Structure 1
Amino acid sequence: MHKQIRQYRQLIPSQRYQLQALHNKGFTQYQIAAHPSTVSRELKRNTPGEQYCAESEETLKDKRKKTVFKFRKHDARHEHILSEGLLMGGLLENIGYRMQLECPEIALSHTTIYRRIRENREAGGLFYQRLPRFGKTHWKGGKRKASQCLIPNRVDISQRPVIVEKRARIGNFEGDILSDQGTYLVTLVDRKNRLLLMAKTQVKTAEVVSNTINTLLNRISRVHTITLDNGGEFAQHEKVSQSTKAQIYFARPYTSYQRETNENTKGLVRRQWPKGTAFSPLTG
């Protein structure tokens, strides 16, 4: 059973008889399958009496198949909804949520929407070109020299408390810098509630950046941790730590996924101000 049930899908008769034998002998759901949720769902749906019966389940399954409501996934309105939503810059998750509110009878999950866009591309459509990260090029390790050697007393992210990874409390921030046409935006994002703090600077020296971070975080009542990348502009992190009483950690080079909240937020900012936009006219 461990090798057969990896993700939820309808069980075949032989698996149901295995499940019946193990369950009736007192094995737990975790002992029966690698994915206990599959076992749990099967038992809840198909145990009319005190014990699970594989033979009875086959009868129940056939009955459900004859009476189930077949939801028609393809609808002529989908193409128009996707076209308008992508044109307005909507995230696919948000398009899915709006469909659930405005037309629940034809609503699609965001994973189905991704699949529809892929199908549209294979058919010669252009929906994929309206995705916010279409065509983005990623750097590979070794292309650039990491500047972690420029950061004194750097504390690696491996020493960061586990609670930060769980997003269980407010006050754990991720920081980075956006730049365009000689002007910079210092960004700080809370991992739990996604609060964005942002300020403009004309230079990105370590002193200016540390002062800007302190000014932004003075608005926050409690800051537990800050996770930064390895840019030399964060060399005065100890000054920030002393002012905010926060522990500061640095992600490993070329691993932007370790600051995924900040990276995703910067992507949203770029949708408002694409590359090539001058930050200098911005105020605040």
Structure 2
Amino acid sequence: MNNHNKHYRQLSQQQRYQIYGLRKAGMSQKAIAQEAGVSSSTISRELKRNRTEKGYDPQGAQVLSDNRRRSADKADKRDPETDTIIRESLALGWSPAAISSRMGIECSGANRLSHTTIYRRISEDRQQGGLLHTRLPRYGKKRWKGGKRYRKAGVAAIPNRVDSSSRPEVVDQRSRLGDWEGDLVHGVNASLVTLVDRTSRFTLAQRVLRKSKEAVADALICMLGKVHSALTVTLDNGGEFADHDRVSKETGADMYFAKPYASWQRGTNENTNGRLRRLWPKRFDLATLADEDIQDGVFILNLTPRKVLDGLTPLEAFTGQRVALIT
């Protein structure tokens, strides 16, 4: 008999009866392994994994092994439908976490994949020469190293500034619609004024060719006039938001400002701006875009599922209406 097999094989029903009989005869695991023609580790693993409450039983051990193999086969089974969903969703800029969350809403149990499984599929595709990995939202992203910054930057340029620490507590709870975060996304020859609802992550954006406080205020008033709820707006400390009093008077929304360089106080807006940068990088000439192109990009953003929304899109969370995206 060979003491070791080069490749692990599943034990047969006959071998399990043999193991059972040899154990009843009082033989050691090493001796049983030699008689059965398998390694000692195989015997040890078998006795640990396939033992029932009544001890080791060859019939019960076979049932446990068969059930485990069926579960593994089901988990590893590739479905062309899920591969298509992954490919098309990545093409839309969805992250594996977003894809997984959306599958939880629209797909049956067998076709729901975890984000780790999706990452594994992408890795397998890369090993086979595929390019799915280049579709990952953060593929090739370079990170800023940081540096010294003036803690009160921009504050003096904003009259009647009210700090975000004065906001009502309900704003931090994200329990209602109408609490917005605003910023300016700079581009070549133009910029985007952006607003993001803190609860639904619904995004609004409007281009301005000048970064004057008047032009930015006009854009904020226009965008807030299109939504059904504008309760508060938390802004960056840039001087372009210095005309905030006029925005508040026209829209009825209370204006607040985050602390300088405390981007986490407008984390929703910062995350959204990063998503917009995937469409239009910093050196992109925003002036060359048609207004329809900008609104199409924002529409795609609002139809991207979010893990933080349990797989819903910002549009669905903001309007309360569901749409089918992957099925």
CA distance in 1, matches of 2:145, 2:243: 26
Which residue in 2 is equivalent to 1:242? 249
How high is the sequence identity, in percent, across the aligned residues?
A: 41
Give the secondary-structure state (helix, strand or coil) at the position aligned to 2:219.
helix
TM-score (norm. length: structure 1) = 0.63
1:107 is the counterpart of 2:115: no
CA distance in 2, matches of 1:191, 1:250: 15
Which range moves more in the overlay, 187-196 or 270-279?
Answer: 270-279
Tell me, yes or no, if the aligned pair for 1:156 and 1:249 is still in contact at 8 Å: yes
Q: Which amino acid aligns with 1:150?
A: A
Pairs within 5 Å for 1:26-105: 70=71, 73-76=75-78, 80=83, 82=86, 85-97=89-101, 99-100=103-104, 101-102=106-107, 104-105=109-110
1:257 is the counterpart of 2:264: yes
Q: 265, 269, 284: which is aligned to 1:277? A: 284
CA distance in 1, matches of 2:169, 2:137: 31
Which range moves more in the overlay, 201-210 or 67-76?
Answer: 67-76
Counterparts in 2 of 1:202 and 1:88: CA distance versus 1, 3 Å = closer
Pairs within 5 Å for 1:150-169: 150-169=157-176
CA distance in 1, matches of 2:125, 2:280: 28
The structural deviation recorded for 1:227 is 0.5
Q: Which amino acid aligns with 1:182?
A: N
Pairs within 5 Å for 1:6-17: none
Number of aligned pairs? 223
Q: Which amino acid aligns with 2:148?
A: G
Pairs within 5 Å for 1:124-273: 129-134=134-139, 135-138=141-144, 140=146, 142-143=148-149, 146-273=153-280
- Root mean square deviation, CA, Å: 3.6
Which range moves more in the overlay, 213-222 or 119-128?
Answer: 119-128
The structural deviation recorded for 1:229 is 1.1
Counterparts in 2 of 1:117 and 1:254: CA distance versus 1, 3 Å = farther
Q: Which amino acid aligns with 2:225?
A: N
The structural deviation recorded for 1:204 is 0.7
Query: Tell me, which stretches of 5 or more residues in structure 2 are unaligned?
Result: 1-52, 54-59, 293-327
Q: Which amino acid aligns with 1:249?
A: Y
The structural deviation recorded for 1:74 is 4.0
Per-residue Cα deviation, 1:21-54 (whole angstroms, up to 9, x for no partner):
xxxxxxxxxxxxxxxxxxxxxxxxxxxxxxxxxx
Tell me, yes or no, if the aligned pair for 1:183 and 1:200 is still in contact at 8 Å: yes
Tell me, yes or no, if the aligned pair for 1:73 and 1:106 is still in contact at 8 Å: no
CA distance in 2, matches of 1:97, 1:110: 8
* Bigger RCO (CA 8 Å, 6+ sep): 2
The structural deviation recorded for 1:259 is 1.4
The structural deviation recorded for 1:87 is 4.2
Give the secondary-structure state (helix, strand or coil) at the position aligned to 1:149.
helix
Please identify the structure whose Cα radius of gyration is greater: 2
Q: Which amino acid aligns with 1:92?
A: P
Give the secondary-structure state (helix, strand or coil) at the position aligned to 1:277.
coil
Query: Tell me, which stretches of 5 or more residues in structure 1 are unaligned?
Result: 1-58
Give the secondary-structure state (helix, strand or coil) at the position aligned to 1:105.
helix
